[in-house]
Each structure stands twice: as structure tokens, then as C-alpha cells.
Chains A and B, each alone.
Chain A
Amino acid sequence: MEISGRPWTIMDTADDVATALMDLSAGTVVDDPDWQLHITLRMDIPFGHKFAIRAIPKGGRVHKYGQVMGSAISDIEPGDHVHVHNVESLRGRGDLVGYKSPTGAVQEEETPQ
């Protein structure tokens, strides 16, 4: 990460999210010419948390570090807080019957209640 002076950071060109480097309030205008970004935060974003820099449809993959970090469980708008309420993990999901991980691990049995 280079020193940019902006209170957020984007790790990779493929990313759908930026990380807040300080507490940012709803209504803050995120203006970043380097990333051709001009959005308004729709919610408060605590330090270290993420906000969407582009729209992600429900079921869409969410990218950070240029890689898939999960899947959207609801439609996400630019400026939304992106966290456990709207993104879920795709890995280690022993709770999902028939779940198959990218490395080939499969959950076949019915999950006992």
C-alpha cells in the first residue's frame, strides 16, 4: 500500500470493497480519482470495516485482495457497509448438505440436529 493520504484503501483492481482506515460517517463522500470512484457512504463504516465501491447483486461473488472472499446474501449498493449481515463464507460449510469446497471436500451426510 502506498501512502495516499485517503482514509480508505483498496487492495486490488478487481476488488468490490474498500477498507475504512478511520471511522467514516454515513454521508461521507468517497472521492478517489485514482480508482475513478465517486460514491456517498450510505451507512456509518467503523474503522477497519468495508464498504462496497460497486453494486453487488444477491448471490454475486465479493472480491477483496483481488480474490473471492464470499458471496452476497442480499443486493449490495455502492456505499453500503459490507459485513456478516450481507456476505457469507463459501468455505468450511459443514452446515450445508452437498456443499463442495473448491479443493474437493464434500459434505454428504445430513447434518444432525
Chain B
Amino acid sequence: MNFLGYPRADGRIGVRNHVLILPVSYEMNQVADRIARTVPGAVTFRNQHGLDQSGEDLAQTLRVYKGFASHPNVYGVVLLGWGHEPFDLMEIADAAVIAGKPVELITLEQVGGMRQAIERGQHSAKLFLTDRDQSPQESVPLSNILLGTECGGSDACSGISANPALGVVSDKVVAAGGTSILSETTELIGAEHLLAQRAVTPEIGAQILYIVRRIEESSMRMGVDLRGAQPAPGNIAGGITTIEEKSLGCIHKAGHSPIVEVIEYAQRPTKSGLVIMDTPGHDIEQLTGMVAGGSQIVIFTTGRGTPTGSPIVPVIKVSTNSFTYERMRDNIDFNAGTIVDRVETVAQAGERLFQQMLDVLNGQRTQAEKLGHREFGIYRIGQSF
């Protein structure tokens, strides 16, 4: 099974060909925004982070920037810094260069202010946009795909319709030699024993139990009842009663494949097959982590119609019920409510979703892409000082 992709110098395959304006701290948001607004075709996002991080937290932030700068869906990068970051901007630029991308590194300090930074950025972005149109496309096997799976705004149908349908797609990607990411560690609480049983080695099983214990302990260290946030008010309105119930429904989106690896936030999988990435349940932090880890496509199931997307990765929205599909037509790409309506089986809906994923890999734009969604957020594991 093949799709049309953009081969990159590092061996990965892009399914989009973006010119990314990448602001590595909030100081550069205004510059990035001005460049993207004036150069049609370029993409960017608003960044809340970039400074005041330290230790592991900083390492994680850097991992996200490197993951975006070297991402297979990105043709070229305009990297924007202030010049006072607590890290070496060259490290990020190098990650993109190693992946074979043209990079322009601009710092405010070096060019002497906003106006010059915007002009330099506009110039480079235009150049990259002209060059990217020469990028050859090739028919490549599905084994090149790293699928990110996500659920947000879950309702009681998530575990009955959309997640099992996504599970069918995940299993098919894995069977074709590709990779699928299950994440949202908070939403594994209460279902981790089932996943541990599916690990290919006892060590990986122990890692699954460890990351779940770690997130549960961190909520307990704060002396909070997780029920304040999980399940969320929208989940409860949709019929989900406890985090265990939510988790037991969540894991259906990972199908039935064995689990071959557990990776940290924003890390790249080293194996093909089903992997677990340790991320929070927060939709955008999770999405950003999977994209930084190299996912070229994300399938996102939603009971409530979550209006989000990524600046560089197509996100296919799948509604769990037909009411939400009708109410949120602008935001939803696929209705798995047909399973609840008893007009399709899980297997039938899964096959239809798989075909739609192939269409999107081949260039069909998702609703989130058409609407210009470009959310970005880094999972912080340390404090700002």
C-alpha cells in the first residue's frame, strides 16, 4: 500500500511541504506573525514558551524545537530567536540542516531589530516557497508513516465508536510496517494493566506501569483529587463517570497490536510498531509532542468536536456520534457515529477511516488545515523561575 510523499535527505517522508516560520520564544511571535501574514503559503504558530526553563524541562523544550525544525512535513525553516535564549540556537538550526532542509537563522540582536528581522524573514520565506515547488514526490510504502493517535473531548461513545474505528486504522498501519503512537498517559490510568500485558517484553510492560504511576503520583503530590480535571466537565456531560472508564475507552484507539517501545515526550520512536509516548492528556501539549516526535499525520477522535489542529501536520477529526458531526460540521472530517447509529460496524467504519487517511496522506486537506488551525503548546515538567 503506497502513498505520494516527499522524500527527505534523512530518509523520512513528508506528507506536506511546509515552509515553517519557527519562533523559539514568545519574544519572536510578532516577527513570526508579520512574516507569515505577508508571505502567503508560509506557516507559523504562537509560542508561549522559550525562556525561563532549566534542566530536564529545558531539554524537553529544545527537543520540541528540534523535532519541528527537522520534521519531514517541513521543506524549509526560518528560525527566529532573540539572541538571549538559554540554549544554543545553532543546535536547532543543525537539526534542520542534518535533515536536509534550507534554514535561515535570524536573531533580533544580530540583525538589529524587528523591521530588519521581518524583512530578512520575508525574503528567505519567499525563496524557500519558490524552491519547494521543485520538490519531487514519490510513491512510497505505508511503512514510512508515523501515525499519531489522539482523543479529546471524549464522551461515552468514544470507547464504542471512534476509538475502536481508529484502532482498526492503527492496527493496519502497524501491519503495513508503519508506526502508531498511543499517548495521553493520564488517560491510561485504570487501563495500564491491559497495555502492560500487550508489551513485547516484561521491561516494556514495567515501563508502561511506571509512567502511569509517575503521573498519578504527581497529581497526588499536589494533594489533588484527579477528578477535578479528569474526567473533564465536558466528558462528564457526555456520560463518562470516572478516569478509569475514560481510559478503558481511550486505549481502544491503539487497536490490538503489541507494544514495542515506551518513549519520552517529543522523542522519536526507534522501532516500528505500536509505541507509547508519555504525554499529558492536554490536547495541544500531546499533539505537539507527537508532532515533534515525527508524526506526519494525526487522527483525533472527539465526542464534543474539539476545534484544534497543528501548523505542520494534517489532523483528521473523527466524531464519536452523529449529533456532534452535524453540530460541528466545519471542524469534523469523519463521522464514526454511524457505529452508534447501527448503520456501520467498527470494522466497516475503520476501513472507511483508513481510506480517508490515505486520501489525506496523498494531499487532501483536512478541515483543520482549511480552517487554518495551528495550535502549539509544550508540556512543561519544570517550574518557571
Which of A's residues lie within 8 Å of B, judged by CB? 1-5, 9, 11, 19, 21, 46-50, 64-65, 67-70, 82-84, 87-96, 99, 101-105, 107, 109, 111-112
Contact = CB atoms under 8 A, between A and B. Distances in A.
A111 B222 CA distance: 9
Given A1-B346, A94-B225, A88 B156 contact: no
Contact of A94 (B219, B236, B241): B219
A94 B249 CA distance: 23
A61 to B, nearest CB: 10
A95 B216 contact: no
Contacts of B248: 64-65, 67, 69
B27 interface: no
Contact of A64 (B193, B194, B224, B245): B245
Given A11-B160, A94-B223, A82 B241 contact: yes
Interface of B: 155-157, 159-161, 164, 186, 189-194, 209, 212-213, 216-217, 219-227, 230, 236, 238-239, 241-245, 248-249, 303, 321, 323, 339-346
B226 A91 contact: yes
Contact of A46 (B190, B239, B342): B239
Contacts, number: 134
B191 A48 contact: no
A9 B320 CA distance: 15
A99 B345 contact: no
Nearest to A69: B245
A109 B223 contact: yes
A5 B65 CA distance: 50
